[in-house]
């Protein structure tokens, strides 16, 4: 499969051959959904925490006598039925939300997302990201010059690129990431992918 390669002025200059094993995979929504949910769970942190009746402060003394008061019998104000008492079966911060996902399944889902971008014309390959200076305005002009009407972009670079990160930090719905770190979550959350020729090769090496 061949795609156009653009320069920083948004003009096609050549063509690049994409690997069918990475960019032309049949999309199965159930596989993508499984990996997306797993990655979402793995980012979740257990912050909610409650105290049971053994951890609540006070309540060592019996509230009132067992008999003769005309009231219901109680042994401790730490009981879950008392206001300010312990919580029965409440959430704990030791809960583990981690979900295991096979490497092969994760890689397959990533290839499916990339293939879906290619099929919908939402993958743009550029020669490089060697701008004159790391200014946000230059990158905004670059996005305006590129074809398509997408509103959120995943910029994939060949290795860590501080200038590109600096240029895209202040642009809403634009995220810069290394080819080594591209995941299903990143691809699902953005409408289009802009990758350099070097980044495409790294994706093919990593997933092929």
* Pure H helices in the chain: 20-23, 29-42, 103-119, 136-145, 162-168, 184-189, 197-207
Q: pTM here?
A: 0.82
Among the CATH numbers 3.40.50.11540, 3.40.50.300, 3.40.1370.10, 3.30.70.360, which is that of 2-44+100-207?
Answer: 3.40.1370.10
Report the pLDDT value the prediction gives residue 167, as an integer from 0 to 100.
93
Residue 60, pLDDT > 90, answer no
- How far apart, in whole angstroms, are the C-alpha atoms of residue 160 and residue 154? 14
pLDDT tens digits for range 184-196:
999 999 999 999 9
Q: Tell me, what's the pLDDT at 147?
A: 86
Domain with CATH 3.40.1370.10 in the chain: 2-44+100-207
**How large a percentage of the chain has pLDDT more than 90?**
92
> Is the pLDDT at 50 greater than 90, yes or no?
yes
Whether the predicted pLDDT of 91 surpasses 90? yes
For residues 151 and 190, the answer to whether their CB atoms sit within 8 Å is: no
Burial 125-143 (b: 16+ CB within 10 A, else e): bbeebeeeebeeeebeebb
| Digit-coded pLDDT (tens) for 136-185 | 999 999 999 998 789 999 999 998 889 999 999 999 999 999 999 999 99
Whole-number pLDDT of residue 65: 95
Q: Which residue has tokens 């879950």?
A: 80
Helices 103-119, 197-207: inter-axial angle, 10-degree rounding: 140
**pLDDT confidence of 203, banded at 50, 70, 90?**
very high
Whether the predicted pLDDT of 58 surpasses 90? no
Q: Are strands 12-17 and 2-6 parallel, antiparallel or unpaired?
A: antiparallel
Question: Is pLDDT of 208 > 90?
Answer: no
Mean pLDDT, residues 105-109: 96
User: What band does 100 get if pLDDT is binned at 50, 70 and 90?
Assistant: very high
Q: Which pLDDT value is given to residue 197?
A: 95
Percent of the chain with pLDDT over 70: 100
């Amino acid at each position: 499969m061949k795609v156009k390669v653009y320069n920083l002025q948004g003009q096609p200059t050549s063509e690049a051959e994409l690997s069918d094993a990475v960019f032309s995979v049949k999309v199965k929504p159930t596989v993508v959904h499984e990996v997306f949910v797993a990655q979402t769970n793995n980012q979740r942190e257990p912050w909610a925490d409650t105290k049971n009746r053994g951890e609540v402060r006070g309540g060592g003394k019996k509230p009132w006598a067992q008999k003769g008061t005309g009231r219901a019998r109680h042994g401790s104000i730490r009981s879950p039925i008392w206001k300010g008492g312990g919580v029965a079966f409440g959430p704990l911060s030791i809960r583990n939300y981690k979900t295991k996902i096979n490497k092969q399944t994760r890689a397959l889902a990533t290839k499916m997302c990339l293939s879906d971008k290619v099929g919908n014309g939402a993958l743009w390959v550029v020669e490089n990201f060697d701008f004159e200076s790391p200014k946000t305005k230059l990158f905004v002009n670059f996005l305006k010059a590129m074809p398509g009407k997408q509103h959120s972009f995943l910029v994939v670079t060949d290795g860590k690129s501080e200038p590109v990160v600096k240029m895209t930090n202040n642009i809403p719905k634009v995220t810069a990431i290394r080819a080594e770190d591209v995941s299903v979550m990143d691809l699902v959350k953005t409408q289009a992918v802009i990758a350099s020729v070097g980044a495409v090769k790294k994706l093919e090496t990593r997933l092929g």
